[in-house]
Structure formats: C-alpha cells, structure tokens
Amino acid sequence: MKQKLIVIGNGMAGMRTVEELLKLEPDLYDVTVFGSEPHPNYNRIMLSPVLAGDKQVDDIILNTLDWYKDNGITLHSGEEIVDIDRLGQKIRSRDGSELSYDRLLIATGSRPFIIPVPGADKRGVIGFRDIEDVGTMLDYAANHEHAVVIGGGLLGLEAANGLRTQGMDVTVVHLLDSLMERQLDKPASTLLKATLEARGLKFLMQAQTSEILGEDRVTGVRFADGSEIPADLVVMAVGIRPNITLAKDAGIHCERGIVVNDTMQTFDPKIYAVGECVQHRGDCYGLVAPLFEQAKVAANHLAQMGIGRYQGSVTSTKLKVTGVDLFSAGEFNEGDGDETLVLQDPSQGVYKKLVIRDDKIKGAVLYGDTLDGTWYFTLMREGTDISAFRSTILFGQHDVGDAGHGDASASVMALPPNAEICGCNGVCKGEIVDAIGKKGLFTLEEVRAHTKASSSCGSCTGLVEAILAGTVGEGYDQAPSKKGMCGCTEHSHDDVIAAIQKGELKTQQAVREALDWKNPDGCAACRPALNYYLLANWPGEYQDDAQSRFINERAHGNIQRDGTYSVVPRMFGGLCTANDLRAIADVSDKYQVPEMKVTGGQRIDLFGVKKEDLPAVWKDLSDAGFVSGHAYGKALRTVKTCAGKNWCRFGTQDSTGLGVKLEQMTWGSWMPHKFKLAVSGCPRNCAEATIKDFGVVCVDSGYELHVGGNGGIKVRVTDLLCKVETEEQVLEYCAAFIQLYREQAHYLERTAPWVERVGLNHIKQQVLDDADNRKALYERFRYSQTFAQVDPWKARADGEAAHEFTPLKIA
Amino acid sequence: MTDWIEIAALDDIPRLGARVIRTDTMDVAVFRTRDDRVFALRDACPHKGGPLSQGIVHGTTVTCPLHNWKIDLASGEALGPDEGCANVFATRVDGGRVYLALKAGEAAA
Ligand code: SRM
Ligand SMILES: Cc1cc2nc3c(=O)[nH]c(=O)nc-3n(C[C@H](O)[C@H](O)[C@H](O)COP(=O)(O)OP(=O)(O)OC[C@H]3O[C@@H](n4cnc5c(N)ncnc54)[C@H](O)[C@@H]3O)c2cc1C
Ligand code: SF4
Ligand code: FES
C-alpha cells in the first residue's frame, strides 16, 4: 500500500516540493494537500505585477486544478489545518475532519507583521501577502483616494508603486532615514527615492506610526510627533513572521521559525518543513530561490534517496518596479579592513558599488545599470579572486573580455514579442515569455527544456536569463549555488572530479554507483563527461567507452546535416607539400567528394563523405602520411602559424617551426572542450594567437605566452600568462597549462570561461610560481600522450570498430 | 500478417549502441540496451530527420545526434517537452538472433 503524505500549505515551497517529488518517485505516496487560500497554487511573487495591472490573477496560477487531478493529488483548498496530533499521526482541519499521515510536510509560509498600534484592527488596514489582499487594494483604488503604505522595504515599495499606478495618492511611511536599508546603501537608496518621487510617490521618512485613526473604518494615520495624514487604506509592509503557530502547538521545536536540519526534517523525523516558515542554521528566508533549494532536498528525502543536503543559501534581490533597475547582494556595507569600488554617474542615474575583502567580492549594490548583477553574484558565490581584472570590474563583464551581448540584455524586455532570441532554435521572445507564464518556469534549465532557447550554443543565455528575471522577478534561480551535472545526479562537476581522483574510481559504473546516479546508464549529457574525466585522470588504465561518445568522436568525422561526414586531415602547423596536396586530391577524385574547402584552421576539409567510405578514405590518407585532424573532437584541434622568421621580413622567431613542434607534442590529446593553438612570428600577430586557448607571440627577446582566448560565439581575448626565452620553455609551459585545464575544467567548458571562473591568478600560481608543480603537470601530460597519440583513422582503416561503418544487410 | 526477417546476431549490435539496416525505401535503426533488449525505429528523427542510429543510447532512450531530442525506443515518441514520433518496428530476439518485422508495403516494397 502507498504511504500517505500530507502537505499543509498550498504555496510556493510546498508545491515545489511535491513537483520535485513527482519527478523522483511519482508512485511512492498518496499525496493530500491542504491550503487555507481558496485557490490552486499560484506565483505569489507576481502579486506585485497583478496589483500594478501588468498581469491578471489567471496569469499567475502555477498548478491548475487539472494538474492536481492528473497527478493524483487530492487538494483541499480553502481548508485550514488547526491541529497536528503527532502521537496519533493525524491532522485535523477547521471543519473537524481528520486524516492520518505517514509523512507530513509543513509549508505554512509566513504572515505579514501588523504593528500593534491602537486602531490596527480597523477596516482598511491590511498586509500585502495574498490574492485577497490584492483584491482589497484594487477595490479601494477604484473607490478611494488616499493610501498609506507603512514600510519602505521591497514589499512596501512594490505595494506603493502598484497603488500609485492604480491612481491612488500614496504616501510611504518609513521608520528609518533610508529606503530598503536591508538591501541598499545610502547613495543607492537616495537615488531610488528620487526616482520614485518623480513618479508621484510621497515619502515620510523617520516617521513613527503611533495610531490608526477612524471609527470602524480607517480615516487617517497619526505619528509620534503628533502630526496626522488622511488615509482610506493602510498597507502594513513592515516585515513578515514565519507562520509557526500550528507547529508550535504540536510541540515541534520552534525558535523564530520551525527548526529544521540539513535534510529539512523537524524535531519529529516524520515531519518535514520547507519555505518561509522554517529556520535553518539560524536563518529564515523570504525569497523563493532558497525555498526552491529546500524543496529539492526535502523531495529527495521524501523519495528516500537520502543524498541531498541543504546547506543554506546566499541570496540577492531586485525590485520589481518597472523602469527601476536595482540589484543588491551580500554585505553591501563595508566593514573594517574592507575595500570598496564605486562608480557613480549621476547624470545617467547610475551607481555601482562592490565591497571587496581579500580580493573577493563580498557584496554589491547596483542602481540604474544592473546588467552585471548576475556576474558579480556568481563571482561572489564562487569566491573568485578578482585581482586580475579589478581595475575594470566595475565596467562589467563586457569589459573583461567576455564581450557578449551585455548591452542587448538591458533592453531585452523592451523587445517586441517576435524578436528572435535563440538563433540556433529559432525561438522568439514571445514564445519564451509565454512558456514561462503558462508552464510556470523558474529556471534557465526549465526554459531550455520547454522552449529549447539557449539549449544549443548558449550564446543567448544572458538574454534568456534577462527575460526570466523580467518575467518572473527574482523568483528565478539564477544559478543554484551547487548545480548537479545533469538530471542524473545532484553532484556537481567538481564533486565528480574529486570523487574520481580521491576515490580512485576507474569505471563509469563505479562513479555512478559511488555517487548514487539516478539512471543506471546515465544520459547523453553525463556519459561523455564521465568518459572524459576517467580518461584524463587514469590515462593508462581507463578503457575508453565508444558508446559514451558523441557520434562525431565515435565516427571520427563531423556528422553533416544529411548524415554524411566531413574529413579533415591534420596538417602540422598548416605546412604541406605538393605530395600531401596530391594525395588529398586523389582521395577526392576516388571517392567523389562533393566539396573541398580550406578551413579557418589552415587545412583542408573534404565534405560529404559517406559513412561506409570513411575507413577506405582514411586508409588512403594514412598511406600518404596523414593522421586525423580531430576536427570533430573535444580535443586538440589546430595549431595555426604564420610565415615567421624564415620568410617574413618582420619575423622575429621561427613561428612555423615552433607551431609544428607544439602540434607534434599535443596532437591526439582529449580535452574538456576543443583546444586551439597559434604561434605568430611578431606582434602583428597574423596567426591571431591572442584569441586562442593557448597563443604564442614571438618577440625579439623570446616568446609571450597568452591563454584563455577564443573566437567563436563570444570573442574573448587572451590574458598574458608570462614571457619565456626558449622554445623548450614554450613547450613545457604549454603542456603544463593544458594539463591543468584537462584536470580541473568542467567537461564542455572551454579555456575562456574556465579562466574566468577560476581566475588567472590561480593559473599563475599553478603554472608559473610553482616550478615543481609545472614540471609535474608537464610530465603527467607527456605520460598521458603516450596513450593518446594513436591515430584513430589508421586504427579504423585497419579494422577497428568496423561495425560502426557497415550497415546490416537483410539476410 | 507479420513477416519476421532475420537481420543479425545480437552481438553484431553493440550494447548501448545501434546498427543501421538499409531497405529499399528507408534506413532502419536497430538499438540494443544494456540488458540486451532490442528495439527498431525508422532512422529519422521526428524533428529534422537526424539519423537516430548515431545517437547515444541510455535506458530505453536515444538522444538524437543533431539537436538532442530524446526519443523513446519502445514507442518512438519524443520525450519531455518535445512532440513528435518516429516509426516503430517490432523486433524479436530468438536464440541469439535478431528478427525484425517489416509490414508489407511499409519498407520492403
Ligand atoms: C570547418 C570549419 C569551418 C571552415 O570551413 O573554416 C569549422 C566547422 C565547424 N565548426 Fe568551427 N570550424 C572551423 C573553424 C573555426 C574557427 C576558426 C579557427 O579555429 O581559427 C572558430 C573560431 C575560433 C575559436 O574556436 O575560438 C570556430 C568556432 C566554432 C564554434 C564556436 C566555439 C566557441 O567556443 O564559441 C563552434 C561550436 C562548438 O564548438 O560548440 C564550432 C563548430 C563547428 C562545427 C564542428 C559544427 C558542428 O558541431 O558540426 C563545424 C563542422 C562543420 C563540418 O560539418 O565539417 N566552430 N570554428 C573550420 C575547421 C577548422 C579546422 O581546420 O579544424
Ligand atoms: C507581494 C510579494 C512579492 C514578492 N516578491 C518576491 C520576489 O520578487 N522575489 C522573491 O524571491 N520572493 C518574493 N516574495 C516572497 C515569496 O513569495 C515567498 O518567499 C514565497 O511565496 C514563500 O513560499 P512559502 O511556500 O514558504 O509560503 P507561501 O507561498 O505563503 O505558502 C504558504 C501557504 O500555506 C497556507 N497555509 C498557512 N497556514 C495554513 C494552515 N494552517 N492550513 C492550510 N494552509 C495553510 C497559506 O494560505 C499559503 O497559501 C514576494 C512576496 C510577496 C507577498
Ligand atoms: S560558422 Fe561554423 S558552425 Fe556555423 S555554419 Fe559555418 S561552419 Fe557551421
Ligand atoms: S533532427 Fe533529431 S533532434 Fe533535430
């Protein structure tokens, strides 16, 4: 028989837990949900836009009544639970009916705090919490004039803005001298106040409410200094209190909230709690991102998987008032010994401040230009050392070289619905906004799954994130602090790499078992990654798994849109002889290759080869001395060179010869992503070495080594690693850099994002400062190359994996 | 009436992999799972015709190599948010040999 799970609270955290649970174990429980509000689950965050008239209640429903029905969930909406009998394992609702449970989930949210001044119980005094409150506000706005909002925090300002938009005369009353003091420093708060005043809001600062005036209905507010203002409606938005009455009465340990452990269990292990009602490691949260993380963990334990732990969250905030850009995270008021970086441009209404401690971001406040909020937030959470780009950090990610589409995303919400956002999958803005609204999407992953936007090349990720943020407000999970590698596991790439190294795991099966993979075979995302990690860490022992490779790497050619393949033989350093070209020409004739082209990587591509012909094509090429160019692989690609000292009148060193040596050392190695090199003979840089993963620019006195560049989707110019004097040093530093990347980067992370994630200083420490470490990295690379420099084409021409290339015949 | 056509030995198909069968009118992809079950689909993804035989097989699903749609091997249905269906052919494994049912007029014609 199924176990019985009862959920008290039909809100955002409770229902997210149920959704997560359904994904893991749809059949484990009979689920019954009680909610005191007479609605299905809705997106509470969006009450502000509903109040401002930008949305209707119907637009913000997250789970429709049909959803409950389709998933076999019994919903009792409008039914409040008044008692939990822990010994008898049952609950009782207001109408007296009882129901027993095996597991109970408390998700009762919180209540607005109503200041206990005389008159606070009069008609017309409300909080801002649910659909009913919004309905009341809209009624008043239609029939009355004066509104007073007590509380100049996030919620108060959103309420005030909404009421003003509905035509009321609104005064915001705040106890302190600065708005949103928990999120903003003084200068940002001053800017915000000026913007809101320009929109017609009035402010009474440092004003202490002493009494609500009126008979049974509100007519005004009186302050401690004796002054009074008229009011038909008073909205109290001075804070929330976790809703713990029910739990407390049942003898469950509560402090400010219901105390839970890292698995979201209360003192009674049969009873879980999530959401605003809980207190975890001393903290209560009032934003949805952490609640969704809690929901995941609770679901994981309810599903009896037992691997998730909630370890607290770092949060950031934005204000959902159209036209006001504001972002805040972390410790934005500097403490002793902290440094601050500030950029102020009053004429543009822009203010940015970062608080730095030990070269790491501890907090940020952005006003007027919040484009880089997500970036700073990521740097902050990951504890990235920012010293390398500190001088330009305030200008944004754009300026650090990751010149993406920063500028576009600022105005993305202003784009028309038919503006194409994802060029790869042809997804327009309107489709994304629709999907977010209709399907209740909160995360980038969900938008990817449902619309395919940003699921391919990823260059539009910033835009999609901006749309998410603009559509669901801060409800969207920017990047969970720790992200599972794929749907098969909660473990991040770093966890998996560490487990492989420390636990000496040497097969995919061992990794999946040790880390509790959900799917025994893994999936198309994690299998190639595991295959790579194992190969990189145990080069002499791990047996490559062909079935875990993307088809290009399995068939050693690029699959084309018509199912044929392209063939790119390696030309070391771009050099070739007449015989080489003749051999390629002969292959082209013999196999009737439809098209040949000189590639951007200085070699020749044969397009449209039939899969069955591949082994024979390779045999002919291999007889002429060619090996695979790995143009298809997450592997060493090309080494681009220029003419250099031998010919060019400006050349300072033999760039062509050095390029050939580099390619001879590195060809055949598998990488987290593709890896390109170039060597230019002088700073004119004809080989474009400063947009390669590893680039060498020759100068009179030696060689400049540059790392972490790429062309492609987001051009990133390299960072200068160092200068060395000899070719031997170039080879050693190059191999050491590659090996560090091979061992530490995440699968499918190219050097450019990797360098930005770990910071150039980390790379300098490992490769420059510590000579022993550099030598050790170099040796490990050379060792792994003894297994990697086997030409896969020759092997297949000789019969390896023949089944891959021959169709079956009907007997 | 179903005509069972013998196509291969089970071991000709790699575990978690596939082989292609050329018929006069189309290619058919024959998949083998970890636990040696065999499924056959028309070798054309419901999205844009990608060769499913070239995808990565996991559980009873294949991920198309062109744009990563996930196709259920048993039903041919696209999984998750994608919508579409690839033609399914019945298969049978008997004494280590794999048999495929091509309905008359469907493929062999
Ligand atoms: C053949 C070639 C175009 C050409 O005719 O010149 C080419 C062709 C492809 N490129 Fe490229 N790229 C080629 C040079 C480049 C260059 C130029 C270069 O290397 O100097 C770049 C920009 C430089 C860079 O990578 O930093 C380039 C940036 C990309 C990107 C974007 C990478 C990025 O990090 O943003 C992709 C997409 C990817 O890898 O995911 C890509 C992916 C592809 C793929 C493999 C798409 C695919 O997955 O099927 C194309 C295969 C075509 C085919 O069917 O054969 N190609 N590609 C070039 C092969 C070079 C070679 O000899 O191996
Ligand atoms: C106007 C507004 C704007 C907001 N904006 C943002 C934002 O931009 N970003 C952000 O991250 N967060 C925002 N929040 C906060 C966010 O909405 C909450 O953090 C989130 O909804 C809390 O989820 P929860 O499940 O803990 O509580 P709730 O969503 O409040 O759900 C609790 C539910 O339990 C029910 N309940 C309580 N007691 C009982 C009982 N005894 N029996 C049965 N049912 C019961 C309640 O009726 C309620 O429906 C905003 C909140 C408001 C009100
Ligand atoms: S730019 Fe590269 S990936 Fe794009 S179509 Fe050309 S070859 Fe293909
Ligand atoms: S053709 Fe299969 S996913 Fe596009």
Three-state secondary structure call for residue A319: coil
pLDDT at A72 over 70: yes
The fold of the A552-628 domain, in CATH, is Sulfite Reductase Hemoprotein; domain 2 (3.90.480)
State the maximum Cα–Cα separation within chain A, in Å, rounded to a whole number.
102
Q: What is the pLDDT of residues A295-345, one digit of tens each?
A: 999 999 999 987 889 988 877 777 777 778 888 888 888 888 888 898 888
ipTM over 0.90: no
For range A282-302, the mean pLDDT: 91
Ligand 4 centroid – CA A640 distance (Å): 33
Tokens read off for A351: 């203010």
Task: Quote the CA–CA distance of A10 and A78 in Å, as a whole number.
Answer: 10
CATH class of the structural domain A125-238: alpha beta
What is the distance between the alpha carbons of residues A500 and A744, in angstroms, rounded to a whole number? 12
Residue A218 in contact with residue A394, Cβ under 8 Å?
no
Residue A61 pLDDT exceeds 80: yes
Task: Give me the amino acid identity at A245.
Answer: T
Closest by Cα among B92, B10, B20 to B53: B20
Compute the average pLDDT of residues A550-579: 93
Q: Which atom of ligand 1 is nearest to the CA of A713?
A: 35
What's the pLDDT at B3? 81
Q: What is the pLDDT of residue A408?
A: 42
A693 pLDDT higher than 80? yes
Give yes or no for a contact between B64 and B76, defined as CB atoms under 8 angstroms apart: no
Tell me phi and psi for residue A403, to 5 degrees: -75, 85
Domain boundaries, chain A: 3-109+242-302, 125-238, 493-549, 552-628, 636-788
Q: What's the confidence (pLDDT) of residue A478?
A: 47
Instruction: List chain B pLDDT tens, one digit each, 109 residues.
Output: 678 889 999 999 999 999 999 888 889 999 999 999 999 999 999 988 899 999 999 999 999 998 888 999 999 999 877 788 888 999 999 999 999 987 644 544 3
Stronger pLDDT, A436 or A261, i.e. the higher one: A261
pLDDT value for A534: 97
Q: At A652, which amino acid appears?
A: T
Angle between helices A444-451 and A461-472 (to 10 degrees): 110
State phi, psi for B88 to the nearest 5 degrees. Answer: -110, 140
* Distance between CA atoms of residues A715 and A81, nearest Å: 57
On chain A, the residues whose CB falls within 8 A of the CB of B54 are: 551, 554-555, 559, 563
Long-range contacts of A625-628 (CB under 8 A, 24+ apart): A625/A580, A625/A583, A626/A569, A626/A570, A626/A580, A626/A583, A626/A793, A627/A569, A627/A570, A627/A667, A627/A668, A627/A791, A627/A793, A627/A794, A628/A556, A628/A569, A628/A570, A628/A791, A628/A792, A628/A793
* Binary contact (A520, B16; C-beta < 8 A): no
Q: HSE-up of A590 (CA within 13 Å, CB side)?
A: 14
A516 or A31, greater pLDDT: A31
Q: Least CB-CB distance to A524: which of B14, B63, B66?
A: B63
Which residue in B68, B91, B66, B90 sits closest to B79, CA to CA? B68
**A478 CB within 6 A, ligand 2:** no
Q: Which two tokens stand for residue A309?
A: 């732990």
Checking if the pLDDT of A492 tops 80, the result is: yes
- Of the residues A23, A443, A446, A551, the best mutation for testing chain B's interface (the one with the most B CB atoms within 10 Å of its CB) is A551
Rounded to a whole number of angstroms, the distance from the CA of A559 to the nearest CA of chain B is: 8
List the residue whose alpha carbon is closest to atom 5 of ligand 1.
A599
Q: Which of the four pLDDT bands, split at 50, 70 and 90, describes residue A456?
A: low
CA distance B54 to chain A (A): 6
For the segment A519-523, the average pLDDT, to the nearest whole number, is 90
A172 has which bridge partners?
A149, A203
CB atoms under 10 Å from CB of A84, counted, come to 23
Give the pLDDT confidence score for residue A117 in this predicted structure.
Answer: 94
Q: Give the pLDDT confidence score for residue A811 in this predicted structure.
A: 54
Please report, rounded to a whole number, the percentage of residues in chain A having pLDDT higher than 90. 69
pTM: 0.58
Query: Rg of the Cα trace of chain B?
Result: 13
Q: Taking residues A363-371, what's their average pLDDT? A: 86
Minimal CA–CA distance to A756: which of A306, A326, A399?
A: A399
Q: Is the pLDDT of residue A374 over 60?
A: yes
Q: Residue A472 pLDDT > 80, yes or no?
A: no
pLDDT value at A585 more than 80: yes
Distance from CA of B21 to the nearest CA of A (A): 5
Q: How far apart are CA A353 and CA A393, in angstroms?
A: 11
pLDDT in the model for residue A278:
97
Instruction: Establish whether domains A3-109+242-302 and A125-238 are of one fold.
Output: yes
Chain B contact set for A807 (CB, 8 A): 19-22, 27
Report the SS3 class of residue A767.
helix
* Closest by CA position to A755, among listed A732, A721, A806, A712: A721
Distance CA A603, CA A568 (A): 7
Taking all residues of chain A, what is their mean pLDDT, rounded to a whole number?
A: 90
CATH of domain A3-109+242-302: 3.50.50.60
| Domains by residue range for chain B, with CATH | 4-108 (2.102.10.10)
Mean pLDDT of A764-793: 95
Q: Please provide the distance, in angstroms rounded to a whole number, between the alpha carbons at the two ends of chain A.
A: 50
Q: With 70 as the cut, is the pLDDT of residue A405 above it?
A: no
Beta strand segments in A39-154, E:
74-77, 81-85, 90-93, 98-100, 103-106, 110-112, 125-126, 146-150
pLDDT on residue A745: 96
Q: Superfamily assignment of A636-788 in CATH?
A: Sulfite Reductase Hemoprotein, domain 1 (3.30.413.10)
3-state secondary structure A48-68: HHHHCCCCCHHHHECCCHHHH
Q: Is the pLDDT of residue A410 over 70?
A: no
What does the pLDDT read at residue B1?
61
- pLDDT classification of A473: cutoffs 50, 70, 90: low
**Amino acid of residue A450:** H
Contact A810 B23 (CB under 8 A): yes
With a 6 A CB cut-off, is B64 part of the ligand 4 pocket? yes
SS3 A661: helix
Q: Which residue of B has its CA nearest to A523?
A: B58
- Residue to substitute from B58, B60, B61, interface A, most A β-carbons within 10 A: B58
pLDDT band at A414 (very low <50, low <70, confident <90, very high): low
- Under a CB-based contact definition with an 8 Å cutoff, are residues A238 and A151 in contact? yes
Chain Cα centroid distance, residue A277? 26
- State yes or no: pLDDT of A180 exceeds 50: yes
Q: Which residue's alpha carbon is at the smallest distance from atom 60 of ligand 1?
A: A601
Distance CA A69, CA A66 (A): 5
Instruction: Flag if B21 and A808 touch (Cβ within 8 Å).
Output: yes
Task: Name the interface residues of A facing B (CB cutoff 8 Å).
Answer: 425, 449-452, 455-456, 519-524, 527-528, 546-551, 554-555, 559, 561, 563, 803, 807-811
Beta-strand ranges (E) seen in A333-391 are: 339-345, 350-357, 360-367
pLDDT at A475: 52
- How far is residue A208 CA from its own chain's centroid? 42
| The predicted structure's pLDDT at residue A683 | 93
Residue A400 pLDDT greater than 70, yes or no: no
Is residue A265's pLDDT more than 50?
yes
Nearest CA in chain A to B43: A563
Give the Cα separation of A263 and B67 in Å (integer).
37
Structure tokens at A808: 């079956």
Structure tokens at A569: 């033989």
CB of A12 sitting under 6 A from ligand 2: yes
Q: Which residue has the tokens 């406040």?
A: A365
The contacts of residue A335 (CB under 8 Å, 6+ apart) are A357
Angle A478-A484-A489 from CA coordinates, rounded to 5°: 150
